[in-house]
Amino acid sequence: MSTNFLAGVPLFRSFDESQLDTLARIMIVQDYGDGHVFIREGDATTSMNTSLFVILEGNVDVASSRPDGGFAVDKTVTPGAILGMIGLLDHEPRSATLSCNGKVRAAHLTRHAFMEMYRSKADLAAKFQFAVAEQLVRDIRNLDNMLRDAVLHGDEASIRERFDRSGANS
């Protein structure tokens, strides 16, 4: 399988050709129809149903319920997005529903395949985990900056804009 589909994904920029080849061999590329649900909010994570998804073509809607007085997540992600990173590494219920907005091609890495990679190619698994950790840190820093700005300026617009396209207050 060609590694071209991974080479353009920011998460994998630091991976060499051999590492990309190995990942491409253990990831499964599939086409999905409009409305297909990859992950449903609240579903338990198990080794059998948990995957990380790399969106290769098309758009995926990400939505979560709105807690009392809080924000719902309501956004669309495009090719190159990595979804399901947290679920791949922890055992908590899924925090959002991911569904196809039109036709989508995605590559996925199951938790089982990830654990096999960890046992047989520990160096690659460690690099993969580090890349995921770097992405999560970027996400946390971005959220931290938005929260700090909202508190300092008394304006939640940047947070609402980032997480809640509906703009509703409740």
pLDDT tens for each residue of 46-93? 766 788 899 999 999 998 887 766 666 778 899 988 888 888 878 888
104 falls within a domain: yes
- The token duo for 42 is 């609240």
- pTM for the whole thing? 0.78
**Would you list the DSSP string of 48-77?**
TT-EEEEEEEEEEEEE----TTS---EEEE
82 falls within a domain: yes
Number of compact structural domains in the chain:
1
Nearest CA among 98, 103, 125, 105 for reference residue 114: 125
CA distances to 77, 100, 140 from 145, rounded to whole Å, are 21, 30, 9
Q: What is the CATH number of the domain that holds 116?
A: 2.60.120.10
**In this structure, are residues 158 and 150 in contact, taking their beta carbons and an 8 Å threshold?**
yes
170 falls within a domain: no
- State the residue range of the domain holding 64: 4-163
Nearest CA among 65, 76, 82 for reference residue 101: 76
Q: CA 110, 127, 13: angle at the middle one, nearest 5?
A: 95
168 falls within a domain: no
For the stretch 95-132, pLDDT in tens is 889 999 999 999 999 888 888 888 999 899 889 888 88
169 falls within a domain: no
For the stretch 7-34, pLDDT in tens is 888 888 889 999 999 999 999 999 999 9
